[in-house]
Structure 1
Amino acid sequence: MPGVLPDGEPVPTDGSLPPQALAEPELTGTPLAFYIHVPYCATRCGYCDFNTYTASELGGGASQATYAATAIEEVRLARKVLGGADLPVQTVFFGGGTPTMLPAADLVALLGAVRDEFGLAAGAEVTTEANPESVDPAYLARLREGGFTRISFGMQSAREHVLKILDRRHTPGRPEACVREAREAGFEHVNLDLIYGTPGESDDDWRASLDAAIGAGPDHVSAYSLIVEDGTRLAARVKRGELPMIDDDVHADRYLIAEEALAAAGFSWYEVSNWAASPAGRSRHNLLYWTGANWWGVGPGAHSHVGGTRWWNVKHPSAYSQRIAAGQSPAHAREVLDAEDRRVERILLELRLDSGCAVSLLRPAGRKAAIRAAGEGLLDARSLAEGFAVLTLKGRLLADAVVRDLVD
């Protein structure tokens, strides 16, 4: 099971926010996004520690069949909490779990609730994650007709033995077919998620996965190093010695292989783990996260941020449903970020982007660290001279260490 929710201060039962979170320009001067969490999966992947539940894990008091109606009530709560301000939503992202375990009509209804309560900005981006085995052409066509503009498939690997270690259910080749079916349904923007560093994966396996992903024709690829999270089945297998732990040098080599293959195919990195074939292919929703926008997270365990206040919902679907049914906020706790918190978060997030973070965010010690990092080839010297700390390829491999030095 996923870890325990963090501590924080209590949230009023009506979900009301501190006055400063709703003040100008915190609210209307900042883009608004919605994240909608669907906490269901057919099976739990061995590496997953997300807030998701299989049928056997749900217990009583929660129904997948009524989930959309319950989540719609939280969208309506969001409208009450944020008041009557004109807040057209820029992006909506359905994540999980496996959102496509719900009927397409349920996802379309949830999107309709956001549209009815807030309105969607012109050209709004609407994304759902999907497991390859959970969709077919008719399902994808229904999503597209219902207003979805982007879809992200969990491919992870093209090698069967790697998928088996990850406990993925789809067969090699199915994600590539999904890209074709999504294109035929009218989706212009399609992402494939990949994972590298799985125990038992070779460099050639990773190259084959990249070749298969690129050959499928998406306009976006995400590539993440596998993190063995405590409490997962994969962690238990590693601890027992059934599987080897992959070291950092292997992860670095795999990242370089990804950069080389994706760049050769015309993809450009715009965030450390994300590549797009064009600026239009970038995930606008994730860019809003990374640049400090406002977002409301709907669903069990979902996190939200509005005007410097961050909160997170109760984790279990039954507790979430009970709160909503009682007309109460499902928020578990919250924290109000001060100016220093927000400064540090901007550095942490913006440094991961190809645009970098402004040197003006750095304190004197951080500016000295940036100059040292440029001398070591970790930051781009020309960009630094122009007032921005931008990671080089070498710097991307050591991004966490660079960030730690710059936030001092």
Structure 2
Amino acid sequence: MPSTLPEGEPVPPTGELPTAALVTVAETPLSFYLHVPFCTTRCGYCDFNTYTAGELGNAPGASRVGYPEEVLAELDLARRVLGPNTPTVGTVFVGGGTPTLLPADDLGRMLSGIRDRFGLADDAEITTESNPESIDEAGMSRLVDHGFTRISFGMQSVRPHVLAVLDRVHTPGRPQQAVAEAKRAGFAQTSLDLIYGTPGESLSDWEASLRAAIDAEPDHVSAYSLIVEPGTRLAARIRRGELPMTSEDDLADKYELAEKLLIEAGYANYEISNWSRGPESRCRHNLAYWLGHNWWGVGPGAHSHVGGVRWWNVKHPAAYASKLDQGISPAYAREQLTAEERRTERVLLELRLDTGLDPAVLTDRERDRIPDLRARGLIADRDDQLVLTAAGRLLADGIVRDLLD
């Protein structure tokens, strides 16, 4: 969730949506994202809408202690806006920030807020992100008691010098230990998040991180290329020449190594940056984004999508709390996607998945470009769907640009 909010059209104080956005709400899967904006320290590469205690100070409404109440207030708003015909919620994802800086019982209370207002599907996937230093096995057991089924730990790298560039602080081996604790605590699914392409990271550094993650035997691994966001400390260090910018060739080599080692270890790539042990280990919440389902993002700066309308909340926790305390929507602005914009997004997102894209979504002229992409080994056919090859995944954005009118 980037820290800079886009502009858009105003949102009514009630948060009400256009009637057309609610027409299919009963039959469209519904998810919730709960944003916890608190961190102990700010990582140098991070551009997310997060705050340390020192940054928040004593601003009214910015307390961790009072935060669950604000979440429940926005859930009340969501219930009013979406109406009585929503399906039970299929996935919930608590992200941040560092959600597990909040007590497990507070996270459980927020989850109960969704359960009480909307209901949870019997097989609902309930995920929290976690810094592995911010929770112990007892806390994990408490989360499982509250209904959490999946936990995703930020590992990033196993090499201390790489973590230092990212301003990440880990006890050596703690992320792997946390996976073992989560399994003992009863989590059905565990995940480790890695980052490659940090300035100064060698190919052997990256291989060590991959092998350490694999040895921990999580059910799911995410491997993301580092994006140097403007305005971050890392971007400033690169601009000053203190650190080198990673080359595209280096990123490609590291992605190919991730694919090789993870496949050998029994993981399957189901989305460009994500690998799982099996279909049951895929992150269903992220799949909801990629498949264009409805989701409501709760919290400061959180983004939502319902029926082709996207909106995003005010950024600062104090401003967010102030709006809710006044009984008005915390939304900052919104946009209504046209049919063509939704089609373009469908191409962009569904091509990322191993299930691929139905060619019927494309225009005749766009379909005429498929043979060339197929001949170049970038796209293949699977079950009448278009899917990116391993080589195509490296060039996904360019392929979409080449494909679309």
Partners in 2 of 1:83 and 1:319 — Cα distance? 26
Could you say which residue in structure 2 is the equivalent of 1:403? Answer: 400
Could you say which residue in structure 2 is the equivalent of 1:50? Answer: 48
Could you say which residue in structure 1 is the equivalent of 2:155? Answer: 155
Contact 2:30 2:86 in 1 (8 A): no
Q: Percent identity over the alignment?
A: 61
Residue 28 of structure 1 pairs with residue 26 of structure 2: yes
Which secondary structure state, in structure 2, belongs to the residue aligned with residue 390 of structure 1? strand
- 1:86 deviates by 4.2
Q: CA RMSD in A?
A: 1.1
Listed as ranges, the matches of 1:77-226 within 5 Å are 77-226=77-226
Which secondary structure state, in structure 2, belongs to the residue aligned with residue 169 of structure 1? coil
- 1:174 deviates by 0.3
TM-score (norm 2): 0.98
Q: Compared with structure 1, are the counterparts of its residues 2 and 188 closer, same or farther at alpha carbon in structure 2 (3 Å cutoff)?
A: closer
- 1:2 deviates by 5.5
Which secondary structure state, in structure 2, belongs to the residue aligned with residue 151 of structure 1? strand
Could you say which residue in structure 2 is the equivalent of 1:67? Answer: 67
Deviation readout 1:35-75 (Å, 9 max, x if unpaired): 00000100000000000011121241211110011111101
Partners in 2 of 1:279 and 1:3 — Cα distance? 33
Q: Match for 2:184: what amino acid?
A: E
Which secondary structure state, in structure 1, belongs to the residue aligned with residue 92 of structure 2? strand
Could you say which residue in structure 2 is the equivalent of 1:354? Answer: 354
Q: Match for 1:33: what amino acid?
A: S
Partners in 1 of 2:76 and 2:252 — Cα distance? 45
Q: Match for 1:30: what amino acid?
A: T
Contact 1:296 1:303 in 2 (8 A): yes
- 1:27 deviates by 0.3
Contact 1:267 1:275 in 2 (8 A): yes
Partners in 1 of 2:131 and 2:369 — Cα distance? 42
Could you say which residue in structure 2 is the equivalent of 1:293? Answer: 293
Partners in 2 of 1:28 and 1:187 — Cα distance? 30
Could you say which residue in structure 2 is the equivalent of 1:388? Answer: 385
Deviation readout 1:345-392 (Å, 9 max, x if unpaired): 100100000011111111223212222111100001x43xx6422100
Contact 2:153 2:175 in 1 (8 A): yes
Structure 2 unaligned residues grouped into runs of 5+: none
Q: Match for 2:142: what amino acid?
A: R
Could you say which residue in structure 2 is the equivalent of 1:37? Answer: 35
Partners in 1 of 2:242 and 2:82 — Cα distance? 51
Partners in 1 of 2:86 and 2:174 — Cα distance? 42
Contact 2:294 2:306 in 1 (8 A): yes
Contact 1:303 1:311 in 2 (8 A): yes
Residue 253 of structure 1 pairs with residue 250 of structure 2: no
Deviation readout 1:206-236 (Å, 9 max, x if unpaired): 1110000010010100000011111000011
Partners in 2 of 1:291 and 1:285 — Cα distance? 10
Contact 1:33 1:295 in 2 (8 A): yes
- 1:407 deviates by 2.0
Partners in 2 of 1:66 and 1:301 — Cα distance? 18
Partners in 2 of 1:161 and 1:366 — Cα distance? 46
Contact 1:68 1:109 in 2 (8 A): yes
Partners in 1 of 2:345 and 2:121 — Cα distance? 27
Could you say which residue in structure 2 is the equivalent of 1:4? Answer: 4
Displaced runs of 4+ in structure 1, greater than 2 A?
Answer: 1-4
Deviation readout 1:278-332 (Å, 9 max, x if unpaired): 1100000000110010000000000000111110000110100000100000000
Could you say which residue in structure 1 is the equivalent of 2:262? Answer: 262
Could you say which residue in structure 1 is the equivalent of 2:333? Answer: 333
Contact 1:360 1:387 in 2 (8 A): no
Partners in 2 of 1:172 and 1:250 — Cα distance? 25
Residue 371 of structure 1 pairs with residue 368 of structure 2: no
Q: Match for 1:56: what amino acid?
A: G
Could you say which residue in structure 1 is the equivalent of 2:309? Answer: 309
Structure 1 unaligned residues grouped into runs of 5+: none
Could you say which residue in structure 2 is the equivalent of 1:238? Answer: 238
Q: Match for 2:130: what amino acid?
A: A
Deviation readout 1:112-167 (Å, 9 max, x if unpaired): 00000000011100000000110101110100011000000000001111111110
Partners in 2 of 1:70 and 1:109 — Cα distance? 12
Partners in 2 of 1:127 and 1:168 — Cα distance? 22
Which secondary structure state, in structure 2, belongs to the residue aligned with residue 357 of structure 1? coil
